[in-house]
Amino acid sequence: MDYEVAGTLIDEGRLARRVAELGKAISVDYNGRELIVIGILRGAVIFMADLVRAIDDNVDVSMDFISVSSYGDSTKSSGVVRINKDLDNSIKDKDVLIVEDIVDTGLTLSYLRRVLMEREPKSLAICSLLDKKERRIADISVDYVGFDIPDLFVVGYGLDYAERWRNLRSVHSVEPTVEA
């Protein structure tokens, strides 16, 4: 089945305003501290690029990235993910903020949180642009949420459908293409 981009769910202006608010909240919470911001490749990249620039310079920000994938669709619900690219630097005794584009079942973050906690960071918080709460399976609390969204398939601002449409400036829903 083919899909096409449908309506705009969150436009550029709302995204920018919310990212600025999140950056402010993070700036207050980590005032005067060092913060390692960890992006989960690839969906979080665009959000993270804007988010770190919305954090004031009273926070000493550094960036690292991790790439994970689930072991195929059939085992996705097992919550076992594979680390394809690990962090470059140690997080031991550091304040860490994981940045995601979307939390769906929560299985990816639940696994990742467990793995990263074993590395003994000073603190570990999570920021996700989107939160699809009604799909949640794993018990994971997200400290900074951009927008709660309904159970729609969404693309844009970093989110993809089969690697397409990550570059769209707004968040859109996708729908099956109606054959003529």
Q: Which residues bind ligand PRP (CB under 6 A)?
A: 40, 42-43, 100-108, 160
Judged by CB, which is closer to ligand PRP: 20, or 45? 45
Nearer of residues 53 and 135 to ligand PRP, judged by Cβ? 135
- Per DSSP, what are the bridge partners of residue 97? 37, 125
Spatial separation of the C-alpha atoms in residues 155 and 168, rounded to whole Å: 8
DSSP state of 120: -
Tell me if 92 sits within 8 A of 120, measured CB to CB: yes
CB of 140 to ligand PRP, least distance (A): 8
Beta carbon of residue 98, minimum distance to ligand PRP (angstroms, whole number): 10
Residue 37 DSSP class: E
Nearer to ligand PRP, 40 or 116 (CB): 40
Alpha-carbon distance 4 to 177, whole Å?
6
Q: Catalytic: 160?
A: no
Per annotation, catalytic residue among 95, 101, 104, 131: 104
- Which residues are part of the catalytic machinery? 104
